[in-house]
């Protein structure tokens, strides 16, 4: 490893700078000063005889006796202050007082009574007396209360700003970046070996590590070292993990921050933190800066600047833009950032010279999922017969995080049944649980409701079976799960291009549940709301996005950039009416079509419904027995496989629980042999 020597001592503490927070302190101090000197009162210490003289001269109008510490204060009248020559400044407008120690607290009242008698005899106004009993405590509170209050507020604010765990803390540190630094001594123990899948992204990222290790290899050929790379991808796909692996392997310091760390309630703090972060990075160069969730600061700047509200974020972003571009390209600071919405990011951030490369971290493919499963199954005690590839096939559309969740959930389920290893059925239950939610056996469903649910689900099943593009059915269930009372599960075929008819057939299938209720029960229920929502969305996108409707062909009113937020629609009122009419027409047509199909296959539908009421869960094969082989070829082979496996499993479990034979007797494992190799990724379960 021959990278340039790091700039300075890494662990050197950075001195607090003279910054605007000192200004805040000064302002508070001057406010305090004002508070204490505002009344302009003056107090003069005098001895008892002078005090008495002043009293008898009629120069006092009030006496305050502090019995506790044996003192008294006399308030001089305007005239009295002049008479007594206690060199008090006449400019100050506040009270002018003289203070003395009283000879005896008990006698003071008598003394004042005597003075008052004399004064009234001379026709002068009497002196009022006040006793201050509560010692000086009240005074102390009155005097120091505000300071204490300010200190409490400051402590509270600095607590808040340090943000709890390990924060740099303190009000004078708000401008500091909160970067966590990993280096040779305290690296993460994640390496590229722990990152399963993501082959392409890994190559790109490994190259970045290579840039830092051997920069001359690239610079000798005249290549410039990139300044940044942006990891883009859906949540849970391992962007942060990838960055952690870089930290583990890079052998250079790795500064990690989250985009939201730049967001603070004070003006200028975000920008100050960006400056500080990059200053820190420069000192440690060569190094890697990782900004997680960069969309917190990097969102596109608004078009109308008078909105004002996100000025602060824009300042932060501008600072980041200049910080990244202010570097010489060879000074060895590489910026990594992760986000799941690259389309939201400011274009200036994405231009070459800042984040030159964008690395897409996609949802894992079949082979990636096998790898991911293998990583997560390392720590799980599995049944030796467990077919990992089959598991990967069942989890299309799952992210790495989802798969981790499946593995954990399966282990939990196995533990619940006191098994000594996790087997296939546990994984199937875990997948169902994650896609569909918690099974709710306790929910009380009347026979009438059960019939309605079965009618609805049988409607979905019949329609999808009888339409060309209907997704291949996996199973139909009326066991409540999550928010749903029942569901039809499909293994949708993955299509890159979807013909119009496929959209229409999908809509028809979604409406099949409601149509069946309508046709066979004579009344409809609220339960279909979710179906209707999905269906209407498809109809809208058919008109607005894909330009597939008759009246508005080839028009797209979609704003994929997400920038044109506003109150104006990109079409006229007339067009809006046409859009509405088209959406209504399309949905209506499919509803009528669904009803027509159901009329045609009423007998079969009712058979499916009755079977459902009886068995609660029915599979592809049961439906096939009733409706016959599907006219349209689809990748049903695998689906049949899934069913057989699950059904066999159910039977074994039923036997197990009644006879208590040795577990794991039937786990027919010949499936992997005849499964297609690389092309046929079986699609995920979806349901209606
Ligand atoms: C309720 N649930 O909310 C009851 C408990 C028509 C037989 N009073 O269409 O279960 O009515 O084909 C995601 C998934 C709302 C979001 C399911 C939002 C279900 C489901 C309402 C079957 N199957 N409806 C279906 C259903 C209901 C609902 C959802 C969701 C029913 C229907 C839910
Ligand atoms: Zn439905």
DSSP 591-604: HHHHHHHHHHTHHH
> Is residue 176 a contact partner of residue 168, using CB atoms and an 8 Å limit?
yes
- Tell me whether residue 389 is one of the annotated catalytic residues: no
The pLDDT tens digits of the residues spanning 531-586 come to: 999 999 999 999 999 999 999 999 998 876 655 566 678 889 999 999 999 999 99
Going from the Cα of 473 to the center of ligand 1, the distance in angstroms, rounded, reads: 19
Query: What pLDDT score does 596 carry?
Result: 96
Greatest mean pLDDT range, 40-44, 208-212, 246-250, 479-483? 479-483
Given a cut of 80, is residue 176 above it in pLDDT?
no
The rounded distance, in Å, linking the Cα atoms of 362 and 439 is: 31
pLDDT band, residue 450 (cuts 50/70/90): very high
Given a cut of 90, is residue 66 above it in pLDDT?
no
Greatest mean pLDDT range, 150-154, 247-251, 462-466? 462-466
- Ligand with minimal distance to 483 CA: 1
Strand partners, 66: 71
Q: Is 535 exposed, middle or buried (0-12, 13-18, 19+ CB in 10 A)?
A: buried
Atom of ligand 1 nearest to the CA of 484: 10
pTM: 0.62
The one-character DSSP state at 58 is T
Going from the Cα of 457 to the center of ligand 2, the distance in angstroms, rounded, reads: 6
Given a cut of 60, is residue 4 above it in pLDDT?
no
The rounded mean pLDDT for the chain is: 79
pLDDT band, residue 81 (cuts 50/70/90): confident
Lowest mean pLDDT among 133-142, 190-199, 288-297: 133-142
Instruction: Starting at the earlier edge strand, list the strands of the sheet with 333-339.
Output: 180-182, 254-258, 287-292, 333-339, 228-232, 357-360
The rounded distance, in Å, linking the Cα atoms of 272 and 319 is: 8
Share of the chain above pLDDT 90, in %: 23
Strand partners, 98: 44, 74
Given a cut of 70, is residue 317 above it in pLDDT?
yes
Residue linked to tokens 């689809």: 634
| Strand, helix or coil for residue 417 | coil
Atom of ligand 1 nearest to the CA of 443: 5
- Ligand with minimal distance to 687 CA: 1
Atom of ligand 1 nearest to the CA of 513: 12
Q: Give Cα 326 distance to the centre of its chain.
A: 31
Q: Which residue has the higher pLDDT, 501 or 661?
A: 501
> Is residue 358 a contact partner of residue 342, using CB atoms and an 8 Å limit?
yes
Which has the closest alpha carbon to 214: 252, 185, 258? 252
Going from the Cα of 59 to the center of ligand 2, the distance in angstroms, rounded, reads: 96
Going from the Cα of 599 to the center of ligand 2, the distance in angstroms, rounded, reads: 18
Atom of ligand 1 nearest to the CA of 531: 9
* Closest CA to ligand 1's atom 8: 527
Contacts of 478 by beta carbon, 8 Å cutoff, 6+ apart: 450, 453, 454, 457, 485, 486, 612, 613, 616, 617
> Is residue 345 a contact partner of residue 294, using CB atoms and an 8 Å limit?
yes
* Closest CA to ligand 1's atom 27: 527
- Ligand with minimal distance to 478 CA: 1
Catalytic residue, candidates 457, 638, 641, 646: 457
* Closest CA to ligand 1's atom 6: 527
The rounded distance, in Å, linking the Cα atoms of 189 and 185 is: 11
The rounded distance, in Å, linking the Cα atoms of 259 and 231 is: 14
* Closest CA to ligand 1's atom 18: 530
The rounded distance, in Å, linking the Cα atoms of 569 and 655 is: 62
Going from the Cα of 166 to the center of ligand 1, the distance in angstroms, rounded, reads: 45
Measured from CB, residues less than 6 Å from any atom of ligand 1 are 453, 456-457, 460, 483-488, 513, 525-531, 688
The phi and psi torsions of 231 (rounded to 5 degrees) equal -95, 120
> Is residue 459 a contact partner of residue 597, using CB atoms and an 8 Å limit?
no
For a ligand 1 pocket test, name from 448, 477, 530, 534 the mutation site with the most ligand atoms within 8 angstroms of its C-beta: 530
Query: What pLDDT score does 247 carry?
Result: 77
Query: What pLDDT score does 687 carry?
Result: 59
* Closest CA to ligand 1's atom 12: 688
Query: What pLDDT score does 136 carry?
Result: 63
The rounded distance, in Å, linking the Cα atoms of 463 and 506 is: 9
pLDDT band, residue 678 (cuts 50/70/90): very low
The rounded distance, in Å, linking the Cα atoms of 656 and 312 is: 65
Query: What pLDDT score does 288 carry?
Result: 85
Residue linked to tokens 């231009």: 351
Lowest mean pLDDT among 214-228, 399-413, 513-527, 597-611: 214-228
Share of the chain above pLDDT 70, in %: 80
Lowest mean pLDDT among 258-262, 598-602, 664-668: 664-668
Find the DSSP H helices in 334-387: 347-350, 366-377
Tokens of 78: 């305007």
Atom of ligand 1 nearest to the CA of 485: 10
Query: What pLDDT score does 412 carry?
Result: 93
Lowest mean pLDDT among 172-181, 197-206, 279-288, 379-388: 172-181
The pLDDT tens digits of the residues spanning 350-376 come to: 887 788 888 888 888 878 888 889 888
pLDDT band, residue 499 (cuts 50/70/90): very high
Query: What pLDDT score does 634 carry?
Result: 61
Mean of pLDDT values over 75-102: 75
pLDDT band, residue 106 (cuts 50/70/90): confident
The phi and psi torsions of 230 (rounded to 5 degrees) equal -110, 125
Given a cut of 70, is residue 439 above it in pLDDT?
yes
Contacts of 546 by beta carbon, 8 Å cutoff, 6+ apart: 500, 503, 556
Mean of pLDDT values over 13-17: 46
> Is residue 196 a contact partner of residue 371, using CB atoms and an 8 Å limit?
yes
The rounded distance, in Å, linking the Cα atoms of 43 and 139 is: 15
For a ligand 1 pocket test, name from 527, 537, 688 the mutation site with the most ligand atoms within 8 angstroms of its C-beta: 527
Going from the Cα of 528 to the center of ligand 1, the distance in angstroms, rounded, reads: 6
pLDDT band, residue 96 (cuts 50/70/90): confident
Going from the Cα of 683 to the center of ligand 1, the distance in angstroms, rounded, reads: 23
Strand partners, 64: 73, 130
The pLDDT tens digits of the residues spanning 374-415 come to: 888 988 888 888 888 878 877 878 888 899 999 999 999 999
């Amino acid at each position: 490893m021959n990278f340039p020597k790091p700039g300075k001592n890494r662990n050197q503490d950075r001195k607090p700078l003279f910054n605007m927070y000192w200004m805040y302190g000064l302002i508070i101090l001057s406010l305090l000063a004002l508070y204490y000197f505002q009344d302009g009162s003056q107090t003069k210490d005098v001895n008892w005889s002078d005090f008495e003289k002043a009293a008898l001269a009629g120069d006092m109008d009030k006496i305050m006796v502090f019995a506790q510490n044996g003192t008294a204060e006399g308030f001089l009248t305007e005239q009295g202050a002049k008479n007594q020559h206690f060199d008090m400044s006449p400019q100050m407008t506040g009270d002018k007082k003289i203070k003395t120690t009283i000879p005896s607290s008990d006698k003071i009242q008598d003394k004042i009574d005597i003075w008052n008698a004399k004064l009234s005899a001379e026709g002068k106004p009497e002196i009022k007396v006040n006793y201050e009993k509560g010692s000086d405590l009240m005074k102390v509170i009155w005097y120091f209360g505000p300071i204490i209050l300010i200190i409490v507020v400051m402590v509270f604010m600095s607590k808040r700003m340090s943000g709890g765990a390990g924060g740099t803390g303190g009000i004078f540190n708000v401008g500091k970046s909160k970067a966590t630094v990993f280096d040779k001594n305290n690296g993460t123990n994640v390496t590229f070996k722990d990152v399963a899948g993501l082959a392409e992204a890994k190559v790109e990222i490994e190259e970045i590590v290579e840039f830092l290790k051997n920069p001359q290899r690239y610079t000798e050929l005249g290549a410039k070292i990139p300044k940044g790379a942006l990891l883009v991808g859906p949540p849970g796909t391992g962007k942060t993990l990838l960055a952690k692996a870089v930290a583990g392997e890079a052998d250079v310091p790795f500064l990690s921050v989250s985009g939201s760390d730049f967001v603070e309630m004070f003006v200028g703090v975000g920008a100050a933190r960006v400056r500080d972060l990059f200053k820190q990075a420069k000192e440690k160069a060569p190094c890697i800066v990782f900004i997680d969730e960069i969309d917190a600061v990097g969102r596109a700047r608004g078009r109308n600047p008078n909105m004002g509200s996100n000025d602060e974020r824009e300042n932060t972003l501008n600072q980041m833009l200049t910080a990244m571009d202010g570097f010489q390209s060879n000074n060895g600071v590489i910026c990594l950032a992760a986000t799941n919405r690259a389309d939201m990011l400011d274009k200036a951030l994405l231009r070459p010279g800042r984040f030159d490369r964008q690395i897409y971290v996609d949802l894992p493919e079949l082979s990636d999922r096998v790898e991911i499963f293998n990583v997560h199954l390392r720590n799980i005690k599995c049944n030796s017969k467990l077919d990992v590839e089959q598991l990967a096939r069942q989890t299309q559309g799952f992210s790495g995080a989802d798969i981790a969740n499946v593995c954990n959930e399966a282990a939990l389920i196995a533990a619940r049944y006191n098994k000594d290893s996790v087997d296939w059925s546990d994984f199937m239950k875990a997948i169902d649980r994650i896609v569909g939610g918690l099974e709710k056996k306790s929910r009380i469903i009347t026979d009438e409701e059960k019939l309605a649910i079965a009618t609805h689900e049988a409607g979905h099943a019949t329609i999808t079976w009888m339409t060309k593009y209907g997704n291949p059915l996996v199973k139909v269930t009326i066991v409540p799960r999550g928010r749903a009372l029942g569901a039809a599960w499909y293994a949708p075929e993955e299509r890159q291009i979807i013909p119009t008819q496929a959209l229409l057939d999908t809509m028809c299938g979604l409406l099949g549940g409601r149509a069946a209720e309508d046709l066979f029960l004579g009344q409809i229920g609220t339960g279909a709301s979710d179906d209707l929502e999905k269906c209407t969305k498809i109809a809208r996108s058919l008109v607005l996005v894909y330009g597939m409707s008759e009246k508005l062909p080839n028009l797209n009113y979609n704003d994929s950039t997400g920038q044109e937020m506003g109150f104006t629609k990109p079409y006229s009122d007339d067009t809006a009416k046409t859009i509405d009419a088209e959406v209504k027409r399309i949905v209506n047509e499919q509803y009528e079509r669904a009803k027509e199909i159901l009329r045609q296959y009423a007998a079969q539908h009712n058979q499916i419904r009755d079977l459902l009421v009886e068995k609660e869960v029915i599979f592809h094969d049961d439906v096939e027995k009733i409706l016959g082989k599907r006219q349209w070829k689809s990748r049903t082979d695998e689906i049949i496989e899934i069913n057989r496996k699950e059904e066999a499993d159910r039977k074994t479990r039923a036997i197990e629980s009644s006879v208590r034979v040795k577990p794991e007797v039937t786990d027919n494992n010949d499936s992997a042999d005849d499964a297609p190799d690389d092309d046929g990724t079986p699609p995920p379960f979806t349901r209606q």
